[in-house]
Amino acid sequence: MNSATMWRIEPSGPLVGDVEISGSKNAVTKLMVASLLAEGPSTVDNAPRIGDVDITADMLRSVGAGVSVDGSTVIVDPAAGLEGKVPVTYSGLNRVPILLVGPLLHRVGEVSVPVVGGDRIGTRPINFHVEALRALGAEIRVTDEGLEAKAARLHGARVRLPFPSVGATETVLLTASLAEGRTVLENAAIEPEVVELALFLQRMGARIELRPDRQFVIEGVSRLRGAHQRLGGDRIEAFSYLAAGLATRGSVRIIGCAQDRLVTAITTLQRMGARFEITDETIAASADGLLGPAAVSTRPHPGFMTDWQAPLVVLFTQVAGMSVLHETVFEDRLSYLAALRAMGAQIELFDQCLVGEACRFHQGEWLHSAVVRGGCPMEGTEMDMPDIRGAFAYVIAAAVGTSPSVVHGVRYLERGYDRVFEKFSSLGLRISEIH
């Protein structure tokens, strides 16, 4: 992995070429956690080489699991005795600690995990996880340091999520698979990465059914075995590079991310005027002239995903006309736009819901809608990467700037994007590392 903390990026004209898409960031760590439920080792192939995998591997080792990460193959062996305490040194690094609660309760009965971290894109509470774990029979105490949980025996329950949360759905799948009896989960997240976890658990021997209307039904079993799964392509990485190609008036062809993971993204870009060539293995996006604007509201799957929003807004700065974005999943996911404004982009932020129906944040003061005027020149600048997706957006912004930029905090990119320096360089972006 790249060890530089800063990059200097020169505007380099159209980005053109092929990008091999890696396995999905938001599935790999969940399959690693699920592996703790089995009686033998599990293998995950096509894993992305990203910081989040290394952090999760260390976290699993800290509770006694054997973990090997060899290129894109991750093997997790929970056979040795596990213990229930995840050290506080893992506090605030990613979203994995809360997902460990269910599996460790099954294996150890008593658990303490540190405060959950991840990108600062909203308040990101864990109340849905806690309520679901309680319904499944866990005794939970939330402390300043994290969460303590106990359970003599976990049982099935009927759980309805107030919002289709990816993480809380995963908590229920991971906990209910070995619980006694039936769990019905309503208003569940059905993101492809969640389904990927459900498929992995099914390979391990879990009985999981996905019904229409966002409902999972899980019949608890008494044991699970190790499994082997190859991860599907990362649809966030795929969209990010397609947007980078279009924003620079180039053309990127992605390899290794199935079309069905990108349906809404492709339709959105097509409406803006992008042309697609799609085969079973590849998806290429290009444009004949200037793209047109769009009005987009982020949504849980199958809607336009929140993680596609940052590259899309940079693309909005390069099209003809006014575009509008309404972020409805995380209340504070537009703060990265300050740097684009400093570059000269004309973007106004609003606390109202500007596209589609009112969202959960309509009465608050969160600036969660943006109006973007396309076509304004953006000067290169110095930027601090704020989070994984904002970080990628800054690289695209630097690529379309009128002068070189320096971006700090490359670790954000490396936590979520596999070999991002190499992939951007191969598309023709002139980047140099600053050590």
Among positions 73-112, residues that touch ligand EPU (CB under 6 A) are 95
Q: Work out which of 22, 24, 26, 46 binds ligand EPU, going by CB under 6 A.
A: 26
- # binding residues, ligand EPU (CB under 6 A): 26
Give the nearest residue (CB) to ligand EPU.
167
* 114 lies in the binding site for ligand EPU (CB under 6 A): no
Pairing mode, strands 215-219 and 182-186:
antiparallel
What single string gives the DSSP state of each residue in 83-115? Answer: -SB--GGGTTS-SHHHHTHHHHHHHHSEEEEE-
- Per-residue contact string for residues 357-396; x = within reach of ligand EPU by CB under 6 A: -------------------------------xx-------
Radius of gyration over every alpha carbon of the chain, rounded to an integer in angstroms: 21
Residues 119, 307, 387, 418: which is the catalytic one? Answer: 119
Q: Work out which of 77, 234, 237, 307 binds ligand EPU, going by CB under 6 A.
A: 307
CB of 301 to ligand EPU, least distance (A): 8
Closest Cα partner for 272 from 330, 205, 317, 226? 317
Cβ-based nearer residue to ligand EPU, 224 or 329: 329
* 126 lies in the binding site for ligand EPU (CB under 6 A): yes
Q: Work out which of 90, 128, 304, 366 binds ligand EPU, going by CB under 6 A.
A: 128
CA torsion 264→268→274→277, rounded to 10°?
A: 10
DSSP conformation class of 23: B
User: Is 119 a catalytic site residue?
Assistant: yes
**Burial of residue 125 (number of CB atoms within 10 Å: 0-12, 13-18, 19+):** exposed
CB of 294 to ligand EPU, least distance (A): 20
DSSP conformation class of 421: H
Among positions 153-212, residues that touch ligand EPU (CB under 6 A) are 163, 165-168, 189, 191
Distance CA 97, CA 377 (A): 43
**Phi, psi (5° rounding) for residue 315?**
-60, -40
Q: Are 11 and 399 in contact (CB under 8 A)?
A: yes
CB of 279 to ligand EPU, least distance (A): 27
Binding site for ligand EPU (CB under 6 A): 25-26, 95, 119, 122, 124-129, 163, 165-168, 189, 191, 305-307, 329-330, 388-389, 416
Residues annotated as catalytic (active site), given as ranges: 119
